[in-house]
Amino acid sequence: MMFTEAEIEYLDGQRLGRLATVGPDGYPQNRPVGVHYNTEKQTIDVVGYDLSTSRKWRNAESHPYVSFVVDDLVSVKPWRARGIEVRGEAELLRGPGVSPFGDEVIRIHPRRILSWGLDPENSRRMVKRDVAAPAG
Amino acid sequence: MMFTEAEIEYLDGQRLGRLATVGPDGYPQNRPVGVHYNTEKQTIDVVGYDLSTSRKWRNAESHPYVSFVVDDLVSVKPWRARGIEVRGEAELLRGPGVSPFGDEVIRIHPRRILSWGLDPENSRRMVKRDVAAPAG
């Protein structure tokens, strides 16, 4: 498995993530997007209205490295933050049925995953790992 | 003024933003950070524990273009999102008093600002503008 059960449960419970892409001028861009974990593909599927005409789509087309982060605060006192960052390669897909979430998708294939605050046994633990593309 | 009153009010009311930097491998990285608007400098001041030894600091040192986004959902039904994205140049500062928020700061000098959902007259309005560095 690419993601742990705790990470998948967290992704499924959150509404908004932020997608960083790199623009043609070399500036990163950072946009709020919905959170959709694709169980079958073990990817993050970014969808949205008119996605394929968006700047983030064109960015991912010319520079396919992206980073997606979802995080929130469990409590302020004591400070308890949790979240997951997925760095990966973007695949652009268009057409009926390309994803259960929509017909235009920026699909993020994870290459490195960082998560924090998701382990109930140790809420301060930060987990970082490189992940390989699944075979096939 | 670099930011509008509505944007400053929004920044002052939010706790978490996400900072996108570009890593040495060309991958963007996307990390949650606190939100601190510096009134005097008209900048976003990113602070944090051991900031100057962090990866985001080293990223901003070698590639000073960054993007910072703060956003949230006002309501789900109807869907009403709001937020602000600040793309800019990072200045790295260390030493007592460099910022009211801390002694190690990634200071974001805005170059382009996008905001949405902050205009009470028109909650769907997206504002985009390039901003120049203040004189002096």
pLDDT means per 10 residues in chain A (136 residues)?
A: 94 97 92 96 94 97 97 92 97 96 97 93 88 72
Output the pLDDT for position A124: 80
Distances (CA, A) of B97 to A116, B9, B105: 31, 24, 10
Residue numbers in A near B128 (CB within 8 A)? none
Contact B72 A21 (CB under 8 A): no
Output the pLDDT for position A134: 64
**Full set of structural domains in chain B with CATH:** 5-130 (2.30.110.10)
Shortest CA distance from A27: residue in chain B: B65
Strand partners for B1? none
Distances (CA, A) of A126 to A116, A135, B1, B88: 4, 27, 39, 28
Residues of chain B numbered 76-135 and touching chain A (CB < 8 Å):
76, 81, 83, 85, 87, 111-112
Parts of chain B with a pLDDT under 70: 134-136
Output the pLDDT for position A123: 78
* CA distance to partner chain A, nearest, from residue B135 (Å): 23
- At B42, list the tokens: 């008209």
Structure confidence by residue, pLDDT tens digits, B77-104: 988 999 999 999 999 999 999 999 999 9
Q: ipTM for the complex?
A: 0.94
Of B103, B102, B11, B92, the C-alpha closest to B59 is B92
CB B136 within 8 A of CB B67: no
Determine contact: A67 vs chain B, CB below 8 A. Answer: yes
pTM recorded for the entire structure: 0.95
Contact partners, residue B25, CB within 8 Å, separation at least 6:
A65
Output the pLDDT for position B94: 97
* CA distance to partner chain A, nearest, from residue B122 (Å): 19
Output the pLDDT for position A122: 81
Distances (CA, A) of B46 to A14, A74, A103, A114, B71: 25, 21, 37, 20, 16
Strand partners for B112? B87, B130
* CA distance to partner chain B, nearest, from residue A21 (Å): 7
Contact B22 A18 (CB under 8 A): no
Contact A26 B65 (CB under 8 A): yes
Output the pLDDT for position A136: 54
Output the pLDDT for position B79: 87
Minimal Cβ distance to B28: which of A21, A73, A81: A21
Which residue's structure tokens are 């998701």? A118
Output the pLDDT for position A33: 96
